[in-house]
Amino acid sequence: MESSALIITFLGLLLIISISLDGICQRTGLPRISGLVLIGVAFAAVQQYFGLPPGADTLGALTDPLVTIALVMVAFLLGGDLGFRQLSALGRPIMIISAVLAIVTAAVVMAGLAGLGFPITVAILLAAIATATDPAAVQQVARQAGEKSPRIRLVLGIVAIDDAWGILAFGLALATVGLLTNGDGLSALTTAAWELGGAVILGAAIGFPAAWLTGRLQPGEPTQAEAIAIVLLIAGLSEWLGVTPLLTAIVAGMVVANRSPHHNRTFREIENIEWPFLVFFFVLAGASIRFDNVLSVLPLAVVYIVLRTAGRWLGGWVGKSLASADDRMAPRDLGIALTPQAGVAMGMALLAAEKLPAVGQDIVAAAVLSTVFFELVGPVVARKVLLPRPGS
């Protein structure tokens, strides 16, 4: 079979498998994302231990563009949640707790990994990755609660902005690692400044025209083509110009959310096409793991899981104290309820592997193992923290 035919067939099979997986996950309670990642891991096992037909190795060429497009969609939608009205509605406690939670989590993970002798570049990147949360898992638990109590509203507000802090932290982490690994200090500083500053400039340069254009081709009705064009421009131009695609997308999303009168429809169009790309993304993320590297990276993954859990708990406690939030508004173990981790964290790991091949495989393997763990355990813990106990 020709490689192009194999790739197209493979993508079709993935979508069929994802549809079948929904029923399996509903019956077993397995999170959908974990199921997709495990399918990718199974594919990696077949590929590495049994071999595949000629041309199957070209599937690897799909990883970079599909991952970038999927992550740009996620980040652009996150930016859409950061309109001035939404931010003002979140309120002071949410802003304080979410920021402190991200800072403390990153500090605990970085200090712990560096203190235990892991490479400083790995410690910095995993510290940034640790700040991301899977909002879907937390939102699902919140829906099970029925009416929105103050603590449910608080947690939903935190997850609405949490990944934005994570993306900013990851951009800073990549820039910092670039400074540490590049022998030419001035060149590294210039590159780091461009990766961050250029992302903001590009995001604004795409966002303002997009906000003006949206809904004008067909008055009041943004087309799906407009939405896809925005995503592809962000993905392609950020790659071409060497800036951070996640930060570019989140800035563009913020601009569109604040400047376009029809922005809700734009984001809805992207939501309508997002899931197939996420299916490819999670499967390819799982397939990127190398089994000859798993045993050696297992200690890193275990330590990362422990440190991130401790960081979330401590960050939630410190943030709650600084925000002067009582137990009715914020549960005592607030940070533990925010441990689920999935798409953004996996995407950060894959982008880190692309930028830094020397440590990339370790980071991807640790991210895959920890994502499966947090997706399985995180919602259970979140449910215990957020849902009222009988008689309480």
Q: Where are the domains of the chain?
A: 63-386
CB-based contact 246:170 (threshold 8 Å): yes
Lowest mean pLDDT among 124-128, 311-315, 356-360, 384-388: 384-388
Higher pLDDT, 299 or 261: 299
User: For residues 105 and 114, what is the distance between their CA atoms, to the nearest angstrom?
Assistant: 14
User: For residues 363 and 125, what is the distance between their CA atoms, to the nearest angstrom?
Assistant: 8
In single-letter form, the type of residue at position 196 comes to: L
User: For residues 384 and 378, what is the distance between their CA atoms, to the nearest angstrom?
Assistant: 10
pLDDT at 54: 47
CB-based contact 342:137 (threshold 8 Å): yes
CA angle 150, 153, 159 (to 5 degrees): 140
CB-based contact 253:210 (threshold 8 Å): no
CB-based contact 101:158 (threshold 8 Å): yes
Give, to the nearest 10 degrees, the angle between helix 185-213 and helix 224-241.
170
Higher pLDDT, 373 or 22: 373
DSSP line for 300-365: HHHHHHHHHHHHHHHHHHHHHHHTT--TTTS-TTGGGGG----HHHHHHHHHHHHH-HHHHHHHHH
Residues 117-142 as b or e (16 or more Cβ within 10 Å = b) = ebeebbbbbbbbbbbbbbbbbbeebb
146 has pLDDT over 80: no
pTM: 0.74
Tokens of 48: 């590495």
pLDDT at 391: 47
Average pLDDT score, the chain: 76
CB-based contact 319:98 (threshold 8 Å): yes
Max avg pLDDT among 74-83, 190-199, 245-254, 346-355: 245-254
pLDDT band at residue 326 under the 50/70/90 scheme: low
pLDDT band at residue 289 under the 50/70/90 scheme: confident
Q: Mean pLDDT, to the nearest integer, of 229-252?
A: 86
pLDDT band at residue 302 under the 50/70/90 scheme: very high
CATH class of the region 63-386: mainly alpha
pLDDT band at residue 218 under the 50/70/90 scheme: low
User: For residues 81 and 102, what is the distance between their CA atoms, to the nearest angstrom?
Assistant: 18
pLDDT band at residue 307 under the 50/70/90 scheme: very high
User: For residues 27 and 35, what is the distance between their CA atoms, to the nearest angstrom?
Assistant: 13
CA distances from 68 to 73, 103, 168, 188 (A): 9, 26, 17, 24
